[in-house]
Amino acid sequence: MIPTVDPYPAYRALREQHPVYWDSDLNAFLISSYAEASAVLRGPGWSSDPNRNPALAARFDRAELGTQALRTTLLTMDPPDHTRLRRLLAPAFTPRAIDALHPRITAVVKAALADLGTAGEVDVIAEIGYPIPLAVMCELLDVDIEGAQLLRTETPKLVGMLEFDPDEEAVLAAEEATASLALHLLPILGDRRHRPGEDLASQLLCLGDDGEALRLGELGLGELGLGELGLGELGLDEVLATCILLLTAGHETTANLIGNGVLTLMQHPDQLDLLQRDPALIKPAIEEILRFECPAKIVGRTNLVDRQLGGHAIRAGQRVLILLGAANRDPEQFRDPECFDITRTPAPHLAFGAGPHFCLGAALSRAEVQETLRQLLPLLTEWRLAPGAPAWRVSDTFRALEKLHLVSA
């Protein structure tokens, strides 16, 4: 059993003694070394489709709309479906496209932090971490007040779909939330297909139309630099699934990254001071936070061919679970990996995955966290961690804080 509060000693022991370890309770191999983790994520013959694993397929077959919705997302697809959908979606999530969204992200962060300068106490998770990425999604989807309220109510429930072993109550809540969001978003998407605006949903719906290239400049989206696209058409179900995935995985990852980042900086005052003196270090600081306190704990794959990995024979159909936090602190890949150093020479961490399934929304998540930290840094000089240990959430999937209280210094 890997502890929730501090999993890193257990990770280190696994990595040093059994970098590839068969866990009979989980019925899966645990991968804790960077080399083997990277080989699985980047190599051929590994599947993300739950139908390739009998136990996962049975779970999906029992599920209702909630986990069924994941079937049409990049998370659970293999080529050629994954290749097609990712090619269609990719132009909307390039760094250039995300740069065009920066003014909206900046405004959202400014509004979220407006009243915190005079606050005597703040819960970073409840007042910063969760509201900011959710408000960004509301802005990008251009939903009305009713839609924004629905997103605020239902989005936190979606995370149950991504837990490794969720309880029945969490799955039911996720299914009901997915149904509520689908009922609200589908008419909006149908309208935006015929009358596109400048929101992200319109942009996704305009990525090709019956195989004909669309001139996005004519739709007011030319500044996103997507040009003419002849990539086929995204169906309403695919756009809906992508929006729900962004609300689920995207929102959760970004919220966790903000919380983990603030906590890590507060626990390393020398690095916080360095960052406050040189804000140009924000980008490398975010990469180091991603490596040091990865917001996701595991990534699963099903093996498709009999093979050897780390001295173990893995049969086709068997499951592997990559422990991202362990791989990201592997001394074979990172010098002095237990040290938090925002000036670290860049090295490719695995926080956003790697290979064909590298997180499509990584640039958006980085942009949100970068702007949040940039505006938050001056305020952090006025706060300190509240007494008591940080409250880590019990989760097999996410490295996430339940609460993170700061009080006036």
pLDDT tens-digit series, residues 2-16: 889 999 999 999 999
Averaging pLDDT over each range in 108-117, 206-215, 233-242, which range is the top one?
Answer: 108-117
Q: Are 70 and 174 in contact (CB under 8 A)?
A: no
Whole-number Å distance between alpha carbons of 132 and 325: 25
Predicted confidence (pLDDT) at residue 222 exceeds the cutoff of 50: no
Section 370-392 average pLDDT: 93
Q: List, in order, residues 6 or more apart from 218 with CB less than 8 Å away.
A: none
pLDDT tens-digit series, residues 11-40: 999 999 999 999 999 999 999 999 999 999
The full set of domains in the chain, from first to last, is 15-408 (1.10.630.10)
Q: What per-residue confidence (pLDDT) applies to 58?
A: 58
Among residues 357, 287, 297, 290, the alpha carbon closest in space to that of 326 is found at 297
Range in 78-87, 132-141, 195-204, 210-219 the model is least confident about: 210-219
b (16+ CB within 10 A) / e for 85-119: bbebbebbbeeebbebbeebbeebbeebbeebeee
Section 337-349 average pLDDT: 93
How do 46-47 and 312-314 pair as beta strands?
unpaired
Q: What per-residue confidence (pLDDT) applies to 352?
A: 96
Predicted confidence (pLDDT) at residue 54 exceeds the cutoff of 80: no
Q: What per-residue confidence (pLDDT) applies to 70?
A: 60
Q: What per-residue confidence (pLDDT) applies to 59?
A: 58
Whole-number Å distance between alpha carbons of 7 and 331: 16
Whole-number Å distance between alpha carbons of 48 and 162: 13
Section 242-262 average pLDDT: 92
Whole-number Å distance between alpha carbons of 148 and 177: 14
Q: Are 76 and 50 in contact (CB under 8 A)?
A: yes
The string of DSSP codes covering 302-348 is: EE-S-EEETTEEE-TT-EEEEEHHHHTT-TTTSSSTTS--TTPPP--
Q: What per-residue confidence (pLDDT) applies to 224?
A: 35
Q: At what angle do helices 269-277 and 362-380 cross, to 10 degrees?
A: 100
Predicted confidence (pLDDT) at residue 327 exceeds the cutoff of 90: yes
- Sorting pLDDT into bands at 50, 70 and 90, what band is 158? confident
Mean predicted lDDT score pLDDT of the chain: 87
Q: Are 332 and 70 in contact (CB under 8 A)?
A: no
User: What is the share, in percent, of the chain residues with pLDDT greater than 70?
Assistant: 89
Ordered strands of the 28-31 beta sheet: 20-23, 28-31, 319-323, 298-303, 46-47
User: What is the share, in percent, of the chain residues with pLDDT greater than 90?
Assistant: 59
Among residues 272, 299, 308, 397, the alpha carbon closest in space to that of 353 is found at 299
The DSSP output letter for 26 is T
Among residues 259, 261, 251, the alpha carbon closest in space to that of 284 is found at 261
The two tokens of residue 144 are: 């009305």
Residue 21 pairs in a beta bridge with 30
Residue 322 pairs in a beta bridge with 31, 299
Extract long-range pairs of 126-131: CB within 8 Å, 24+ residues apart.
126/403, 128/258, 128/262, 128/372, 128/376, 129/255, 129/256, 129/258, 129/259, 129/262, 129/401, 129/404, 130/156, 130/251, 130/255
Burial label for 57, CB within 10 Å (0-12, 13-18, 19+), is middle
pTM: 0.90
First-residue to last-residue Cα distance in the chain: 37
Tokens 């501090």 belong to residue: 6
How do 307-309 and 405-408 pair as beta strands?
unpaired
Predicted confidence (pLDDT) at residue 199 exceeds the cutoff of 90: no
